[in-house]
Amino acid sequence: MRVTHDVRRTVARLADGRQIIYFDDTQDAPERTAVDTRDLGERAAAGHIRHDALTGDWVAVAGHRMHRTHLPPRDECPLCPTGRGSMPSEVPDADYDVVVFENRFPSYAPVAVDDVSAPAEYLHAPALGRTEVVCFTSDHESTFAALSPHRVRTVVDVWADRTAELGADPDVAHVFCFENRGQEIGVTLHHPHGQVYGYPYVPARTAEMLARATEHHARTGRLLGADLLAAERADGSRVVLSGEHWTAYVPYAARWPVEVHLAPHRDVPDLVALDDAERDELATVYLELLRRLDGYFVGDDGAGVRLPYIAAWHQAPTRTGRDVSRLVLQVMSVLRGPGRLKYLAGSESGVGGWVTDTRPEAVAARLRELAP
């Protein structure tokens, strides 16, 4: 089914100068003229990044985030439209479809402070970049899985829009779109939302994936992501569902109790490169995948368990490795049973030695059972 789509984009500023962008996909959406009347003072600057000499990783130091909003009561939600709670929120308008704004407590920002004094052996730099919040709906009680295909299609366009704009920033080396759902994951705001990070460096896992992809391409002349997808589709034992443009499968070496990758059939480096047909089908395939994930575990009452998850878009860095990178969505959960979590304890946290309690083929078989 094709999703007819037309989105109006409106850019405005919050009281402290941060950018807010409305993406309206409804025909009767009002013009976005509301003004943020809060007295916020100057926008918060990001801190700095420090280089870990032992691993080569970078670590952002953002002390101001210690005081960010944490699980506020319903009427103090900063992501609801202004007027629905007891105080003005981050969104000045009385309603919205999808909205994006710069995080008030950023890990990375266009304004950053590097006030570190350290020996020459230690590298550091200002945490220049971008940290954005993406609100998928104004409905506080909803979830991504409850959105309509039309709204999910809007969110896909929003992800592509932010990837393109942030990727053009000379301070941004990598754009990461993701959603955390569930308090078990560490969510501090229950309103359905995701985030977009514009990193000033290529993060460690992305760099590892890029190194493997570069090595594979040099040896075979092919894309590693494409070969993995072809192998999964040919084997079939870990495939969860498949459409004309997308296939979801449990990876051969899945780390998490529940983990699924969703990959396009065409070789594309990032969300920006998806065409209309691929974006349309993604809206429906992703919703079906989330429906099955929410039915994976059954609670004592016989109903499905809302799965806490991280949904992470792996895409090409902005200026390196784009010829060998291939887009893929990774959905992963720490839940290994109703009320039981997988903790990253000694082996995983100490040396990165992952142990999984469930065979990936069994996870895929369970998810296939939940087909409509």
Active-site residue, from 193, 216, 245, 314: 193
The answer, yes or no, to whether residue 302 has pLDDT greater than 90, is no
Mean per-residue pLDDT for 59-68?
81
Q: Is 193 a catalytic residue?
A: yes
Tokens 């894309």 sit on residue: 223
User: pTM for the complete prediction?
Assistant: 0.96
The angle formed by the CA atoms of residues 103, 293 and 132, to the nearest 5 degrees, is 10
**What percentage of residues in the chain have a pLDDT greater than 90?**
88
Indicate the pLDDT class of residue 4, thresholds 50, 70 and 90. Answer: low
Query: Do 140 and 74 meet the contact criterion of CB atoms below 8 Å apart?
Result: yes
**What percentage of residues in the chain have a pLDDT greater than 70?**
98
Flag the least confident range among 2-6, 31-35, 185-189: 2-6
Mean per-residue pLDDT for 149-177?
98
Q: What is the pLDDT of residue 2?
A: 43
CA 174 to CA 318: how far, in whole Å? 5
DSSP run (H or E) holding 48: strand 48-51
Phi and psi at 320, nearest 5°, equal -145, 145
Q: What is the pLDDT of residue 3?
A: 47
Indicate the pLDDT class of residue 1, thresholds 50, 70 and 90. Answer: very low
Indicate the pLDDT class of residue 68, thresholds 50, 70 and 90. Answer: confident
The string of pLDDT tens digits covering residues 9-32 is 999 999 999 999 999 999 889 999
Distance from first CA to last CA of the chain, Å, rounded?
16
The angle formed by the CA atoms of residues 78, 293 and 194, to the nearest 5 degrees, is 25
Indicate the pLDDT class of residue 300, thresholds 50, 70 and 90. Answer: confident
Indicate the pLDDT class of residue 66, thresholds 50, 70 and 90. Answer: low
Q: How many CB atoms lie within 10 A of CB 356?
A: 15
Biggest alpha carbon–alpha carbon distance for the chain: 61
* Greater model confidence, 230 or 113: 230
Please, what is the average pLDDT of the chain?
Answer: 95
